[in-house]
Structure 1
Amino acid sequence: MLARDRQGATLPEFAIVLPTFLVLLFGIYDLGQGIYLKSVLQGAILDAGRDAGLESGLSQKDAIDQYVRDQLSPIAISNPTYEVERLNYSGFNDVGRPEDFTDSNNNDKYDAGECFVDENGNNTWDGDVGKGGLGGANDVVVYSVTVNYDRVFPLWKLISGEQRGSVSATTALRNQPFGPQAARAKKQVCPGT
């Protein structure tokens, strides 16, 4: 008779199901917040990139960055930090291209002391020829923003993750042709000679 008694069985079942349900619910919220934040950031950076490509972009750089932050402010993120990077190139083919170098030991990678062609004017070999900043007329600009924020729920502890979440967005646009494109100086550098 006691084995068939079902009264009170709901409470232990609820106690087993509730934590699993809450972890699932909070996980979906955390994941959804990150996806939504990335979507809004991508839209904001596309708008900001178009504004930065105008002739007035150089004088409006801080206002353009503030526009991106303002677009994200309605989203409930705590303790956000923003990392902004702008690299400019002569053309789209240069994006991510390393500076040329003389491979003295034929190992297919740059080693200290090898001669190289400095294309971005910093007298250092770089794995990317991009110059910092917005560039000039007709230059291609890669505009990247990374937002780091504190996660709302401490689920990250359950999976040995990080408390800080991070989303980033990047866009590459050509500046408007508000003048002739400036030629980029290339200089052969041979360290140690």
Structure 2
Amino acid sequence: MMRLLRHLQSDRTGASAVEFALVAPVLLMAMMGLFDLGYNVYTATLLEGAIQKTARDSTIEGSVSKTSTLDAAVTEMVRNIAPQATLNFKRTAYSSFSDVGKPEDFTDVNGDGVCNAGEPFEDANANGSWDADQGKAGSGGARDAVLYEVQVTYPRPFPVTSMFGMDADYIMTSRTVLRNQPYDLSEKVVKVLNCP
């Protein structure tokens, strides 16, 4: 009996299979995580390239009538790698690069930091009210700086991320700002109005 126990103790047959069974799940999860990361990075790079090209094409005179065609080209490029992706497009025009994302200027007469009580403000986007973002929806006019944003949502290709509490869908947003070409010499008139 002792001889049999000594023989079993020194026998290494099958040890590799047991070690592989212990290591394989961790290795497979790590590999799927890396594949998911690589897929998302590749899709983001593809999106950035498509957006840069489309944004440049959007700055040319007459591109306003072609926005759906330009957006369709971005959609096609992204769907080549993420077939189930949904894309949302947004264009916001500003009079200069420094105005992107900034509120409309106002004179804070009562010093409370809020545009109210009839305080005067510059209606940069001509909508008749003070806004925290002075951009105007759309492609704007000549020499406007246009913020072009695309949000892409697609299901993750590798389900391992759900085991770590991540969403089943991956969402990324890409932005670029370019100035429209000077295809006309129209001047913009900014009205001064009063806050409510």
TM-score, normalization by structure 1: 0.90
Partner of residue 99, structure 1: 104
Partner of residue 166, structure 2: 161
- Amino acid of the residue matched to residue 65 of structure 1? D
Q: In 2, are the aligned partners of 1:54 and 1:176 still within 8 Å (CA)?
A: yes
Aligned-residue offset at 1:118: 2.2
Aligned-residue offset at 1:99: 1.0
Q: Pick the aligned partner of 1:117 from 91, 104, 122.
A: 122
Q: Distance in 2 between matches of 1:82 and 1:37?
A: 13
Matched, 1:136 2:144: no
| Change in 2 beyond 3 A, CA 1:97/1:112 | same
| Change in 2 beyond 3 A, CA 1:123/1:16 | farther
TM-score, normalization by structure 2: 0.88
Unaligned runs of 5+ in 2: 1-5
Secondary structure in 2 matching 1:6: coil
| Change in 2 beyond 3 A, CA 1:184/1:28 | farther
Give % identity. Answer: 39
Q: In 1, are the aligned partners of 2:91 and 2:137 still within 8 Å (CA)?
A: yes
Aligned-residue offset at 1:124: 3.2
| Change in 2 beyond 3 A, CA 1:136/1:111 | closer
Unaligned runs of 5+ in 1: none
Q: CA RMSD in A?
A: 1.8
Partner of residue 3, structure 2: none
Q: In 1, are the aligned partners of 2:58 and 2:67 still within 8 Å (CA)?
A: yes
- What pairs with 1:43-192 in structure 2 (closer than 5 Å)? 43-75=49-81, 77-103=82-108, 106-108=111-113, 110=114, 113=117, 115=119, 116-191=121-196
Q: In 1, are the aligned partners of 2:106 and 2:115 still within 8 Å (CA)?
A: no
Partner of residue 34, structure 1: 40
The higher radius of gyration belongs to 2
| Change in 2 beyond 3 A, CA 1:181/1:39 | farther
